[in-house]
Structure 1
């Protein structure tokens, strides 16, 4: 990752700190770093299983797009920037999120 810009995302309650590349969504970064993130659709933005609650750093999060807005509304949550889909969330600075069920992949 020499020379690449990364942004730190802390994932609670797991206690993991993920270095997300510029332009990379949180879901993809987690997979790249060896974490299993709850999903059904595999990061396509349709299942909404990957949603997170932003605890800190909402100002460092990308705007909510139309597909993500639909998903958040389907979850019956306000589209206020605090509930986000990890597969659509880009960050531009430190962010802390809460997501239960994130696990380190078991090495075989």
Structure 2
């Protein structure tokens, strides 16, 4: 294959395959955690080869440092600390910090608008 951008159909197949690999990783984690880690590595290789992002649904389900599949309650802990979600990898100790300002802001705005709507009626 020549250099340059890949055709759209190839990218769609790669994303579909990444979804399948992460779903399998989730199913296999209980019995074969090493296999689920291998699935994560394969999905990362696909995203690198086809220059695509890992789907948002799965982007927070693996450790960015050690490439292990994270399963909350088994090898990962999830905490809410100071308006951010901290995901701690149980394998290497890496902490992923994800802010959730937007969600709180949208919730506050929706509540304000509903109160305003009730007062207008």
Normalising by structure 2, we get a TM-score of: 0.22
Question: Which structure exhibits the higher relative contact order, with contacts defined as CA atoms closer than 8 Å and separated by 6 or more residues?
Answer: 1
| Bigger helix fraction | 2
Higher radius of gyration, 1 or 2? 2
| Bigger strand fraction | 1
